[in-house]
Amino acid sequence: MTGFRVGSATHTGRVRSNNQDSNLIADRLQLYAVADGMGGHQGGEVASALAVETLEAAPPTEPTSDALVEAVKRANAAVFARAGQEPALRGMGTTLCAIAVVDSEADPDTTEIAWVNVGDSRVYLYRDGELLQLSTDHNLVEDLRRDGQLTDAEAAVHPQRNIITRALGIDADVQVDSGTVVPYEGDRFLLCSDGLFNELTLDQMTATLRRLADPKEAADDLVRQANEHGGRDNITCVVVDIVDDDRAEVASAALAGTAAGIDADAPTRAVPAVAGSDPDLAGFSAPAPRDGDLPFGRPSEDVYGDLNRARTRHVTWRVLAFVLAVIVVLGVAFGAVGWYAKRTYYVGYAGTEVAIYQGQPGGLLFFDPEVKARTGLDRTDLTDAEAQAVRKEQSFASLTDARSFANRIRADVEDRRAARTTTTTRPRATTTTRPRTTVPPATPTSTP
C-alpha cells in the first residue's frame, strides 16, 4: 500500500500585499494540490481557495485518473459559476495542479500516482537524484518555446512568462492535462506555484530536495530561498514523499542518506555523498531491489521505465496544428522551388546538338532541366562566336524568346550553307573571238 509523508509551505513573497495561492493536504483522500489565483486583489484568493475546496469536497467517485480529471472539471465549473454570480469577481481564475493515488489500469491490485495540471503551476518528480517536470506549463512563453520561437534561456527571462493560456474559471469547460507514474519508495513529488520556480533554478531545487529528508523542512527551505532570490510573487510548495505504510520509519531514507531500516543482508548500490551533507554518510549504500521482490510489483529495476506514460496525454490540438502547418509549409516550399526551377528556358548543347531546355542551367536542388525542343543544328555548323554564345547557356523568360535566339543562329547557318552552294554550282563564263578582216587601202586613181 502506498503511504505518504507530506510537508508544505506558503508565503506572500516580498512584493505582493496578499497571498492568492492555496494548497490542499488531504491525507485521508491521499490527495494533494496547489492553486495560484488571479483576477484582482480579491478574485485570485477566492478562485484558488474555491478550487481546492471543491476538489476536496467532491473527491473522485472511484480512484482512477479519469475520475480525478472530472473532479478538476467540477472545480472549474464552481469557479466559473461563482465569477458569473458576483460582479466583483468577474474574470477571476486559478491554476491547479494535484496528485492522488489511483488504481492501476494495467493491474487493479496495484496503485499508481495520478497527476493533473491546468495553468502554470507545476508537478515535479524527484527520483534517484534527478528532478523531472511531469506537467507542461500553459502559458504564452512556453507555447513560444515549444514552437521553437524562443530558446530555453530566453524563455526563462521573458517578461511575458506570467501570461497563462489556460486556467480554471475562465470558460465553462477546461482541458486538463494528466498522467500517471508507478510509485517507488523514496520518490518525492513537488507541487508548486510559479513563485518558486521563477526564482530558483532546477539545480537549486534539486539540491534542496536531495539535502533535506524531512518534507516540511524541504518545503520551508525552498520558500526561504525563493524569497532570498527576489520573492516577486506568492510562493507555495507541497512536498510529498512516497513511503511504505508498513515501514513508515524509513520515510525517504534514500533521499537523506540515513541508514534507518536498511536490510543488512540486501545487495547494495552506491549512493554518492551530497556536497554539504553529513560527511559521516559519504559512501553510504542503499539497498537495491532483489529479483522477485521489486517494490509495488515493478517488472524490472528500471525505475524510470514508467515515466513515459506521464507524457501520453500531452498530444493536443496544438501538436496536430503544428504538424499540419509544417506539412503546408513544406508543400508550399516544394511548389515554390519547383516553380522557380521551371520558370526559365535556355539554349545549350544536348550532346553535340543545339537544343532548348526548360529549367535552370545545371539544375536546382532535385529539379533537373529538360529538353523542350531540338533545333537540328550541330556544334560543327556554328562559328566560334555562335558556339561560344550557346555554351554560355543564356536564360530566357519564355520558350518563344529561346526559340527566337535559336532561330537567329539557324538563319545564319542556313545563309552560310546557301552561300557555299551558290559558289559551287555557278557556270563559267566563255569568250568568243571574232576574226578581224583587213581591208587593203584603196589605190589612188589618176586622171589622164
What's the rounded mean pLDDT across residues 378-398? 87
In tens, the pLDDT along 409-435 reads: 888 888 888 888 876 655 555 544 455
The answer on pLDDT for 90 being more than 60 is: yes
44-61 as b/e: b if 16+ CB within 10 A: bbbbbbbbbebbbeebbe
CA atoms within 13 A on the CB side of 122: 20
Instruction: Take residue 318 and report the three cell numbers written for it.
Output: 496544438
Distances (CA, A) of 172 to 43, 58, 157, 164: 17, 18, 32, 17
The answer on pLDDT for 253 being more than 70 is: no
- Using CA atoms in the order 363, 365, 370, 372, what is the torsion angle rounded to 10 degrees? -80
pLDDT of residue 14: 96
pLDDT of residue 117: 98
The answer on pLDDT for 18 being more than 50 is: yes
In tens, the pLDDT along 150-206 reads: 777 777 777 766 688 999 999 999 999 999 999 999 999 999 999 999 999 999 999
Q: Alpha-carbon distance 248 to 113, whole Å?
A: 18
Query: Residue 379's pLDDT band (boundaries 50, 70, 90)?
Result: confident
pLDDT of residue 428: 55
Instruction: Take residue 448 and report the three cell numbers written for it.
Output: 589622164
In tens, the pLDDT along 308-353 reads: 444 444 445 667 778 888 899 988 888 888 788 787 898 998 888 9
pLDDT of residue 424: 63
Domain boundaries, given as residue ranges, for the chain: 2-314, 323-423
Q: How does the average pLDDT of the chain come out, rounded? A: 79
What's the rounded mean pLDDT across residues 399-411? 87
Q: Alpha-carbon distance 114 to 302, whole Å?
A: 19
- Sequence-ordered list of residues with C-beta below 8 angstroms from that of 410, at least 6 positions apart, any chain: 375, 376, 377
What's the rounded mean pLDDT across residues 46-56? 96
The answer on pLDDT for 145 being more than 70 is: yes
In CATH, what number does 2-314 get? 3.60.40.10
Distances (CA, A) of 238 to 80, 133, 187, 304: 26, 14, 14, 22
378-407 as b/e: b if 16+ CB within 10 A: eeebbeeebeebbeeeebbeeeeebbebbe
- Cβ atoms within 10 Å of 266's Cβ, excluding its own: 14
Decide which of 214 and 105 is more confident: 214
Q: Give kind and range of the element (H or E) at residue 358.
A: strand 353-358
Per DSSP, 312 falls in state T
pTM above 0.75, yes or no: no
Collapsing DSSP states into helix, strand and coil, what is residue 371? Answer: strand
Query: Residue 278's pLDDT band (boundaries 50, 70, 90)?
Result: very low
Give percent above pLDDT 70 in the chain: 76
The answer on pLDDT for 286 being more than 70 is: no
What's the rounded mean pLDDT across residues 381-393? 87
pLDDT of residue 418: 84
